[in-house]
Amino acid sequence: MSSANNQIISLLIDRCADSDKRTRKFACFAIGNAAYHNDLLYDELRRSIPQLANLLVSTEEDKTKANAAGALSNLVRNSNKLCDDIISKGALQALLKLVSDCSVVALNPSRKDAVNESPLKIALFSLAKMCAHPRCREFLRSSDLFPVIGRLRQSPESTISNYASVIMSKTSEA
């Protein structure tokens, strides 16, 4: 990878902590795009993991949280190269916390409008992708927040209940 590309990726990652909320939102989206097709940029993108994790648990707009969760799913999409970092830098735990925080609304049928705006579906999608990797599955299973995923199988929103069921099924495999 050229040093020019490396500099661009580095600047992009730094934008995840920008003072402008729109810049943070689009930086997350761009990181997800950079990781989508293959794992060639994973080493350079590794530094984004703590930034993305931080955005998931901060007072950030839902769309930014959804973009951060989506970027994390793309960082495991093409290989398990970043799984240890995703665990050690707190990103997997941050996804679980986000799911837990959003689950109250998701299990309340009268709040259907709020569910569609929430980053919950993308966070669950991301966790389901992470279940493809044994280290992530182990971590998920052992988290105190894991039981909330089991409860989300009862969500009146079919996408949420389906993702929760996929995660439960994948984590029960050896």
pLDDT in tens, 2-58: 666 678 889 999 999 999 999 999 999 999 999 999 999 999 999 999 999 999 999
How much is the CA Rg of the chain, to the nearest whole Å? 16
Query: Over pLDDT 70: what percentage of the chain?
Result: 89
pTM value?
Answer: 0.91
Rounded to an integer, the average pLDDT of 61-79 is: 95
Average pLDDT, the chain: 90
Q: Which residue has the tokens 């648990």?
A: 57
Q: Transcribe 95-128 into DSSP letters.
A: HHHHHHHHHHHHT-GGGHHHHHHSTHHHHHHHHH
